[in-house]
Amino acid sequence: MAKAAPARTGKRPPRVKLGGTVLAIIRLENGKQVRSRLHQLSTSGGVLQLENPLDEKIKVEVIFHVGSSTVRSQAVTLFPMWATKGCLQPFGFCDLPEKDRLSLQADLQQFLDQASSSSTSSSSAQPRHQPFDTI
């Protein structure tokens, strides 16, 4: 009889939609580099915009700069999803150091606060474009 997976404890980290505004480099195990853009990001991983999908469950190195954080961490790819232009490739961090995770968390929180304050402070009837959306 199969055992049930243990229940997750704690909250899921907040995610920030970046919509491709942040460039990222993916370094494969064979040393090849793939340029991409970050579509979505959290302290546990994110979603990349790629022209061609990567295989599922391969180890890669993800390198990008967001806010005041430069992240260079090992990650594992998840199952890709086709999009209108290329694909969306989810990934999860494998060994993001605590110092980097806290720095990234602070930068992502600034994006969330910025989006929140922009939506609550707009008093005009016209909709405003939000540079960063929360999910």
pLDDT at 9: 57
The C-alpha atoms of residue 50 and residue 22 are separated, in whole angstroms, by 13
Residue 11, domain member (yes or no): no
Give tens-digit pLDDT for 72-100. Answer: 999 999 999 998 889 999 999 999 999 99
Q: Is the pLDDT of residue 3 over 50?
A: no
Q: Where are the alpha helices (DSSP H) in the chain?
A: 98-121
Give the residue carrying structure tokens 């302290």: 43
Is the Cβ–Cβ distance between 100 and 73 less than 8 Å?
yes
Q: Which domain holds residue 101?
A: 16-112
Q: pTM (2 decimals)? A: 0.78
The single-letter DSSP state of residue 16 is E
Could you tell me the CATH number of the domain that includes residue 31? 2.40.10.220
- Domain assignment present for residue 85? The answer is yes
